[in-house]
């Protein structure tokens, strides 16, 4: 599904990612853990196509195509979805307009007709119930005045409606109470399927109590310093991020 | 021949209304000689610094002669019409009874053409005409006094309430045509009305419309006044709205400007004791348009409240100008005035000049103002792109959102829809699909 090879990324002449390689097969869930500032959001943004990042080396292949050559909206239409760590507030564009615009853009790309208004409303109402947001959130500006947790659940709502192939969740679990965390985990688990993959960027192990990852990678200083199975997350939790520094100095 | 002489020549042969009234003849003659001397305003005048109308002097617009022209393109006119509203329609500056709808107006309410009113109610007009315009009137105002052919006259006796909007449509159909109008709207005490002025033209004709509206809102009366300026892409427009509010009067004006090549609207309000004034406005300037709005609020008596909210958008190589002036006179203690002006630039070549001015001559007042000029938030654009929305559509969605907050303030629903349509069709790259609505 996604193959990242030796990815180097700079921001304003500062190297941030220094040779990332990842191979994510269809149906797999990969967790990326690491201390603040290690480059997790940078990786997520580069995959989604945000401007301002300079790729100095490496390749990213997504479903056999070169992802980095695609425009952000093209990536989205091809099934890449990023749940942002800090979703932006957009006054005046209602949530439901955005969902409709996004869904129609994807449908058009697939050669399908515009979604029927009634079907759409039914779909959206069903999905919003699943993330436990009131229906009135559909008619508010995108994330406008939403609490931190509501913004995160709104990202999951969009993901559930758009049914992407590759879901990247950038610290969607941060700042959530245990009930909201469960809702997010259920949102992910209900979407798991053999042809859909996930990258879960997280700071804490606790999300992984609810979503069992196939692989766990530890990112530090722009490099993946260790990869393993689900037990690596537990080990990291026990030993703390100080252990990562040891790994780095050993590796260096 | 100078442009002023050109107009003097043209109008010499035209039968202008109200010739039988000495007071009006005198006003016209004075105005004519002022206009002959000074012509249209020049950028040397401080208030015209950003809006150069010298292009107008190179073109010679011609007033229509005789009876009203039949509107060939009736669909363009029909599109502008509000459902469920009375209407006074002026085609090329002349009243068209055929296109107007005035039946069923409440007893005692007058809605007719000014030419007709000058015949039937000359004394009433004399008491209202030229009372609200600034005394040191510039060339455009002098021009309208000298040469107005017609305009709307609306009068509500005390306590009368119009339960439907009254729409005044000024529609231009002739190439290089000239329409000069004076409109009068007077509400006696406790009366209430909604008046919608609409300006447009056929196709992409070039023409000049100069239209001054004087408004008198009586004691405790309430007027909601809208102006939709949707002139053609080559149209020239000068508009003035000058309102006087008596004690405890309420005046709400909403100005929406999307059209014209060079267009300016001035909106002045004079507030009496305890009067309320709300000025809202939105302009969207695309292409090479130049859209100028000048507002002036005079707090002349104590306890007045004014709220002013303006938004401007300029794209392509367009230019927007906003000047918001609030004057609190020495007697106007306990004035409460707020002004906000937010502007959005959509291209590097677009320009918006915003000039707020507070002049406070009383000490016990509350006045606040804020101005911003910014661009679309790139984070928001990327967020939409990351959901599959292409960049032009994302930018349009965000621009629409910015503007729509002003459209939502429009209360008559049919006008709300009309303005939303105007807005959508005026957005840059308006041909892209609006499947997000
Ligand atoms: N736009 C930017 N400009 C400058 N530095 C940046 C920018 N974005 C990220 N960085 C830097 O890149 C590093 C990685 O940041 P980020 O990817 O946000 O880390 P994480 O998500 O793992 O906390 C940090 O040192 C951060 O300061
Ligand atoms: Mg981050």
What would the pLDDT profile of B124-178 be if each residue is shown by its tens digit?
999 999 999 998 889 999 999 999 999 999 999 999 999 999 999 999 999 999 9
What number of helices (H) and strands (E) belong to chain B?
10, 20
Distance of CA A170 to the CA centre of its chain: 5
What would the pLDDT profile of B58-112 be if each residue is shown by its tens digit?
888 988 876 666 677 788 899 999 999 999 999 999 999 999 999 999 999 999 9
Residue B205 placed within a domain: yes
Residue B278 placed within a domain: no
Distance CA A119, CA A115 (A): 7
Distance CA B378, CA A241 (A): 34
Residue B39 domain boundaries:
3-271
Ligand 1 pocket test, candidate residues A10, A18, A39, most atoms within 8 A of CB:
A39
Q: Is A86 in the pocket of ligand 1 (CB under 6 A)?
A: no
Looking at B242, B271, B300, which one is the last position of a domain? B271
Mean of the per-residue pLDDT values of chain B = 93
Given a cut of 50, whether residue B340 has pLDDT beyond it is yes
- Same domain? For B30 and B179 the reply is yes
What would the pLDDT profile of A160-192 be if each residue is shown by its tens digit?
999 999 999 999 998 888 988 998 999 999 999
Which residue's CA lies nearest to atom 18 of ligand 1?
Answer: A41
pLDDT of amino acid B67:
67
pLDDT of amino acid B430:
58
Least-confidence region, from B4-18, B151-165, B365-379: B4-18
What would the pLDDT profile of A142-165 be if each residue is shown by its tens digit?
999 999 999 999 999 999 999 999
Mean pLDDT of B202-227: 97
Residue A216 domain boundaries:
2-251
High-pLDDT (> 70) share of chain B, %: 96
Residue B285 placed within a domain: no
Inter-chain CB proximity B386 and A114 less than 8 Å:
no
Indicate the pLDDT class of residue A251, thresholds 50, 70 and 90: low
Q: Which ligand is nearest to the CA of A40?
A: 1
Given a cut of 50, whether residue A252 has pLDDT beyond it is no
What residues does B154 pair with on adjacent strands? B111, B185
Q: Which ligand is nearest to the CA of A15?
A: 1
Distance CA B246, CA B275 (A): 7
In chain A, the number of structural domains is 1
Q: Closest partner residue to A82 among B384, B386, B405, by Cβ?
A: B386
- For residue B383, the distance in angstroms to the closest alpha carbon of chain A comes to 7
Q: Which ligand 1 atom sits nearest the alpha carbon of residue A53?
A: 1
Distance CA A220, CA B90 (A): 73
Mean pLDDT of A28-53: 96
Chain A residues inside the 8 Å CB shell of B386: 48-50, 72-73, 75-76, 81-82, 84
pLDDT of amino acid B289:
97
Predicted TM-score (pTM) of this structure:
0.91
* Chain pair A-B, CB pairs under 8 angstroms: 90
Given a cut of 90, whether residue B399 has pLDDT beyond it is yes
Distance CA B164, CA A150 (A): 42
Distance CA B295, CA B116 (A): 31
CATH assignment at residue A226: 3.40.50.300
A84 touching chain B per CB within 8 A: yes
Residue B319 placed within a domain: no
Residues 6+ apart with CB under 8 A from A69: none
Given a cut of 80, whether residue B206 has pLDDT beyond it is yes
Residue B148 placed within a domain: yes
Mean pLDDT of A184-207: 93
In chain B, the number of structural domains is 2
Q: Is A226 in the pocket of ligand 1 (CB under 6 A)?
A: no
Q: Which ligand is nearest to the CA of A42?
A: 1
CB hemisphere CA count around B413 (13 angstroms): 1
Looking at B271, B291, B317, which one is the last position of a domain? B271
Q: How far is the CA of A6 from the centre of ligand 1 (A)?
A: 19
Q: Where are the alpha helices (DSSP H) in A137-241?
A: 148-162, 178-191, 231-239
């Amino acid at each position: 599904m996604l193959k990242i090879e030796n990815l180097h990324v700079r921001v304003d002449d500062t190297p941030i990612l220094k040779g990332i390689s990842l191979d994510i097969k269809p149906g797999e869930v990969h967790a990326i853990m690491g201390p603040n500032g290690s480059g997790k959001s940078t990786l997520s943004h580069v995959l989604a196509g945000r401007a301002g990042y300079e790729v100095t080396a490496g390749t990213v292949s997504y479903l056999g195509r070169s992802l980095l050559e695609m425009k952000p909206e093209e990536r989205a239409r091809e099934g890449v979805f990023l749940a942002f760590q800090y979703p932006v507030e957009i006054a005046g564009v209602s949530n439901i307009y955005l969902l409709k615009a996004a869904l129609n853009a994807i449908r058009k790309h697939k050669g399908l007709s515009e979604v029927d208004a009634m079907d759409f409303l039914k779909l959206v109402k069903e999905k919003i119930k699943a993330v436990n947001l009131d229906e009135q959130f559909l008619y508010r500006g995108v994330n406008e005045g939403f609490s931190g947790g509501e913004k995160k659940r709104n990202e999951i709502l969009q993901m559930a409606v758009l049914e992407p192939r590759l879901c990247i969740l950038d610290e969607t679990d941060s700042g959530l109470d245990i009930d909201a965390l469960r809702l997010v985990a259920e949102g992910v688990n209900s979407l798991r399927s053999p042809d859909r993959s996930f990258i879960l960027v997280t700071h804490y192990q606790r999300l992984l109590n609810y979503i069992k990852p196939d692989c766990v990678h530890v990112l530090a200083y722009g490099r993946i310093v260790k990869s393993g199975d689900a037990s690596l997350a537990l080990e990291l939790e026990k030993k703390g991020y100080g252990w990562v520094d040891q790994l780095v100095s050993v590796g260096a | 021949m100078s442009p002023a002489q050109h107009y003097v020549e043209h109008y010499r042969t035209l039968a202008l209304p109200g010739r039988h009234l000495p007071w009006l003849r005198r006003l016209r003659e004075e105005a004519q000689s002022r206009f002959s001397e000074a012509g249209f305003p020049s950028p040397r005048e401080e208030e015209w610094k950003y809006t150069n109308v010298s292009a107008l002097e190179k073109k010679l617009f011609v007033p229509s002669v005789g009876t009203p022209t039949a509107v060939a393109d009736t669909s363009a006119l029909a599109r502008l019409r509000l459902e469920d509203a009375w209407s006074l329609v002026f085609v090329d500056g002349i009243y068209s009874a055929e296109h107007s709808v005035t039946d069923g107006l409440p007893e005692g309410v007058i809605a007719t053409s000014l030419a007709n009113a000058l015949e039937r109610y000359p004394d009433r007009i004399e008491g209202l005409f030229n009372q609200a315009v600034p005394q040191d009137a510039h060339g455009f105002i002098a021009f309208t006094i000298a040469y107005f052919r017609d305009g709307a006259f609306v009068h509500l006796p005390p306590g009368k309430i119009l339960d439907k909007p009254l729409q005044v449509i000024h529609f231009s159909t002739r190439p290089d045509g000239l329409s000069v109008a004076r409109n009068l709207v007077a509400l006696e005490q406790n009366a209430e009305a909604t008046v919608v002025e609409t300006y447009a033209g056929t196709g992409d004709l070039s023409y000049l419309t100069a239209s001054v509206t004087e408004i008198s809102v009586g004691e405790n009366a309430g007027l909601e006044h809208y102006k939709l300026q949707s002139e053609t892409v080559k149209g020239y427009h000068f508009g003035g709205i000058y309102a006087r509010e008596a004690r405890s009067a309420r005046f709400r004006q909403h100005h929406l400007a999307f059209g014209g090549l060079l267009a300016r609207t001035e909106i002045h309000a004079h507030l009496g004791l305890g009067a309320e004034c709300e000025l809202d406005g939105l302009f969207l300037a695309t292409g090479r348009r130049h859209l100028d709005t000048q507002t002036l609020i005079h707090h002349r008596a104590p306890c007045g409240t004014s709220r002013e909210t303006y938004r401007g958008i300029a794209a392509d190589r367009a230019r927007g100008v906003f000047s918001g002036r609030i004057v609190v006179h020495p007697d106007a203690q306990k004035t409460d005035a707020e002004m906000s002006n937010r502007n959005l630039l959509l291209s590097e070549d677009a320009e918006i000049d915003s000039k707020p001015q507070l002049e406070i001559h009383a000490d016990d007042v509350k006045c606040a103002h804020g101005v911003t000029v910014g661009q679309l938030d790139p984070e928001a654009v990327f967020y939409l792109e990351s959901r599959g929305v292409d960049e032009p559509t994302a930018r349009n969605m965000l621009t629409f959102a910015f503007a729509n907050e002003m459209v939502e303030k429009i209360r008559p629903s049919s006008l709300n829809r009309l303005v939303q349509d105007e807005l959508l069709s005026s957005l840059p790259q308006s041909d892209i699909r609006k499947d997000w609505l």
